[in-house]
Structure 1
Amino acid sequence: MTTLQIVDPFVNPELRVFQAGAEDQEQVQELILQTARWLHSRGSTQWGNLLQGKDDHNLGGAIARGEVITFRTSEDHALAGAVILQQQPSAWDRKLWGLDDADSDGGTSVYLHRLVVDRDRTGKGLGRELVQWIEKGIRFTGKDRIRLDCIAGNDKLNQFYQQCGYTYIGETGGYNIFEKMLTEVKEK
């Protein structure tokens, strides 16, 4: 189980935050597939493995470890977004970040994967709000940075993460890697 603490249960007055449970898996999986289908319709190969039934980030395992966060509307509890926040690097992360097996504790990084927003809610700044919440609304014991990757050829997504304050670290194997240091949230 992960060691995280949700310190702000709201992204905004209309959107609540929850740690996903097994009962959420089907709905989160469908939201991720919805995004993969949309990417495919735009000519992107990003997340193409999902459309072939391959789950490289093991959504079920991530939910069981407490690493999946859902964002739901306050009014009707509709799923507006989700994200996987891994506290241990996956084989994928190890490859991209050049980590060896000696780094078994995952270091001080949280690895952000599969940030998705319901397609009916896109274009309204919700993605940026979710990224900001991830940086300030949740704490991870012993972690001081968030790392993520995205396909190098998706200029819009790469610009999005840079506009959100993530530092471009480099490109490896057709993927750009980004990192952002977390600021300590002071107790009130």
Structure 2
Amino acid sequence: MNIQEARTSDAPMIASVLQEAAQWLAANGRALWSGAEIGPERVLQDTSGGLFHIAREGEHMVGVMKFELEDAHFWPEALPGTSAYVHKLAIRRAWAKKGVSTELLSYARSRARRLGRAHLRLDCVADRQGLRNLYEGFGFVLHSVVQIGSSSYARYELPTAT
């Protein structure tokens, strides 16, 4: 599997992966991202900013994630420059449960370490037990559960030093 920073030309396919994941979640009664969050314009903007990273198996884009160096929305108390953050982790349904998430998270941890960040952090809706199990199985530790608006979010962190 090859994981790399996405190119601007990858933006339509990244949006497609995110939309596929969002549709699957919604069909199972667990809607997550708004159309604006994963729409072509926003994905192009984020991809142009170097935020999306993609996993490919041969010619197929099998997973994506957004990798950020700051997250004042979910982690307002975090000191700047100390952490990296994963958002919008999505895997094509045909590649679910085949280790793509683990590969992307390993890549994110290594990238954060190379950038001198002590922690890799992420969040998820607190009632998403399957996702929480994935993160905990990878080694993330629950930092806290916070209320933002009408939703509760579980915030996780992982030291980047191994």
2:76 matched to which residue of 1? 98
Letter in 1 for 2:19: L
2:46 matched to which residue of 1? 62
Matching of residue 20 in structure 1 with residue 6 in structure 2: yes
2:145 matched to which residue of 1? 171
Q: Deviations over 1:38-86 (max 9, x none)?
A: 0001100322x13xx3449x43332122221111113xx2101111100
Alpha-carbon contact 1:83-1:116 (below 8 Å) kept: yes
Which structure has more helix as a fraction of its residues?
2
Cα distance, 1:36–1:122 mapped onto 2, change above 3 Å: same
2:99 matched to which residue of 1? 125
Distance 1:86 1:140 in 2: 14
Distance 1:152 1:171 in 2: 7
TM-score (norm 2): 0.85
Match of 1:84 among 50, 53, 66: 66
State the shift of 1:139 in Å: 4.7
Cα distance, 1:95–1:17 mapped onto 2, change above 3 Å: closer
Alpha-carbon contact 1:62-1:86 (below 8 Å) kept: no
**Higher RCO (CA < 8 A, seq sep 6+):** 1
- Identity, % of aligned pairs? 22
Distance 2:15 2:113 in 1: 25
State the shift of 1:115 in Å: 0.9
Q: Which structure has the greater CA radius of gyration?
A: 1
1:44 matched to which residue of 2? 30
The two structures, once aligned, show a CA RMSD in angstroms of 2.1
User: Secondary structure of the residue that 2:97 maps to in structure 1?
Assistant: coil
Letter in 1 for 2:73: K
Match of 2:133 among 156, 159, 162: 159
Cα distance, 1:55–1:130 mapped onto 2, change above 3 Å: closer
Distance 2:4 2:76 in 1: 32
State the shift of 1:137 in Å: 6.0
Alpha-carbon contact 1:69-1:82 (below 8 Å) kept: yes
Distance 2:129 2:31 in 1: 14
Q: Deviations over 1:23-49 (max 9, x none)?
A: 0001001100100000001100322x1
